[in-house]
Amino acid sequence: MNTSEAQPVTSTAVVETPKSVTTPAQIKTPINYGAQGVKLASLEDAFRFANAIVASGFAPRGMEKAEAVLVAIQLGAELGLTPMAALQNTAVINGRPAIYGDAALALVRASGLLESFNEEEVGEAGKDSFGIKVTATRRDGSKGSETFTIGDAKAAKLWGKAGPWTDYPRRMLKFRARGFVLRDVFGDVLKGLRTAEEVRDYPEERNITPLSEKVSGGLTMSLTQGGAA
């Protein structure tokens, strides 16, 4: 009887290598969302949100870049504003950040430090003496009062200026007086920020530094003076 020895059976497994592998570092963690909207927990979250704002077309004028939106969000966070409130209530004017007058008052009210606040008309309507007087008192008893009149606006070459000073003169008088007193009495709340209504009346700053001083090390000065020290 013939017997044959069983031959071993071999098989080859074919393993396909995936074309791309997503590593944990490439997976974006979700941004928490609650009753008041997004909750930004990191700088990356804020930058992703800033990019979304720019892509949506909701970025205010002067904040067309994600980096600018990110800075506005950071500024708002320091003041206690939510991300969207920061975008709507801050402005970049001539490279200077500012906050709108209504938002400034809202922040002061929300701080819990305001005891009383009053705005009233003073002087005779239509005359240089007419203006708005704003008085604010803190809970610790400190108090401030500012009045801005038509005469003040004329002295600052603002009265009759094209734009809000022509369209809403009374409101502009109020915003100017309000900005002064809130900044004086509640500088800790506003972090020294001026109101947008005030900042946009400033002339645009120009760099008048001589070229020789702009060049590092005064190289230009040395060349124009024949290398003399």
Q: Pick from 109, 179, 190: which is nearest to 144 by CA?
A: 179
What is the model's pLDDT at position 9?
57
> Could you report the per-residue pLDDT of 189-222, keeping only the tens digit for each?
999 899 999 988 887 655 445 555 555 554 444 4
Instruction: Give pLDDT, residue 30.
Output: 75
Strand segments, DSSP code E, in 100-202 are 114-122, 131-138, 143-149
Is pTM beyond 0.75 here?
no
Q: Within the chain, which residues score under 70 in pLDDT?
A: 1-28, 34-36, 204-229
Looking at residue 210, what is its pLDDT? 56
The identity of residue 53, as a single letter, is I
pLDDT in tens, 65-77: 999 899 899 988 8
Whose CA is closest to 200, among 99, 71, 80? 99
- Please classify residue 172 by burial: count the beta carbons closer than 10 Å to its beta carbon, then call 0-12 exposed, 13-18 middle and 19+ buried: buried
pLDDT at 16: 57
